[in-house]
Chain A
Amino acid sequence: AQSVTQLDSQVPVFEEAPVELRCNYSSSVSVYLFWYVQYPNQGLQLLLKYLSGSTLVKGINGFEAEFNKSQTSFHLRKPSVHISDTAEYFCAVTAPLGYGGSQGNLIFGKGTKLSVKP
């Protein structure tokens, strides 16, 4: 079974400052990792994903994340945030289909609310 821990429930930051949202996971098998963003009263939009290969992955809206297997982390970063980045961000994990009984359902963290102030 997999689990995800998002270490910060809220992150306030000023516009144009850098930000890092932290995510740690646990799993007994190889995993795929995702970051989703959720704007108020909307569904989830995929920001980026790690499947294999390069540990630094780039996503939409200028976000990137680094997979660190030894630290079981997948932190999300952006060098300069905008007011429009204010939203809730979810880290999620799943095992490849059929791996360890995985049916592909995502395991989510509790989310981090990013608040960008002018």
Chain B
Amino acid sequence: DTGVSQDPRHKITKRGQNVTFRCDPISEHNRLYWYRQTLGQGPEFLTYFQNEAQLEKSRLLSDRFSAERPKGSFSTLEIQRTEQGDSAMYLCASSLGRPSYNEQFFGPGTRLTVL
């Protein structure tokens, strides 16, 4: 068990470009969450998957954002036509999704800077 990994760790892009981030959860975890953390704030929920199904999306997830989890393994988060307001740390977490308790394990995050 190597924990949750995210790639890249840092991404600098120009406004208007598209970016894609990858998250590899702990192998037996069937739930995967994406959060966004802006400066001075706590993480905010974006979306989550149970296996390959995307079951909930936050209002924070505008039409420019899309997430996938093919085959229920790794997940990608794509931001199209990036804006400066998208600059943030993007965190991924995974969990076993037991009937009631849901401990989430976090990856190191991808820090996005939009110039």
Contacts and interface: CB of A to CB of B under 8 A. Distances in A.
Interface of A: 4, 6, 32, 36, 41-46, 49, 51, 90, 92, 94, 96-99, 103-111
B33 A44 contact: no
Interface of B: 4, 6, 31, 33, 35, 40-45, 48, 55-56, 91, 93, 95, 97-109, 111
B2 to A, nearest CB: 14
B100 A49 contact: no
Given A104-B48, A104-B97, A105-B48, A97 B41 contact: no
B38 to A, nearest CB: 10
A41 B111 contact: yes
A96 to B, nearest CB: 4
B108 A96 contact: no
Given A103-B56, A110-B41, A97 B106 contact: no
Contact of A97 (B6, B43, B45, B100): B100
Contact of A110 (B33, B40, B48, B56): B40
Given A97-B99, A104-B95, A90 B48 contact: no
A106 B93 CA distance: 10
Contacts of B98: 97
Contacts of B103: 46, 49
Contact of B106 (A4, A44, A103): A44
B106 A111 contact: no
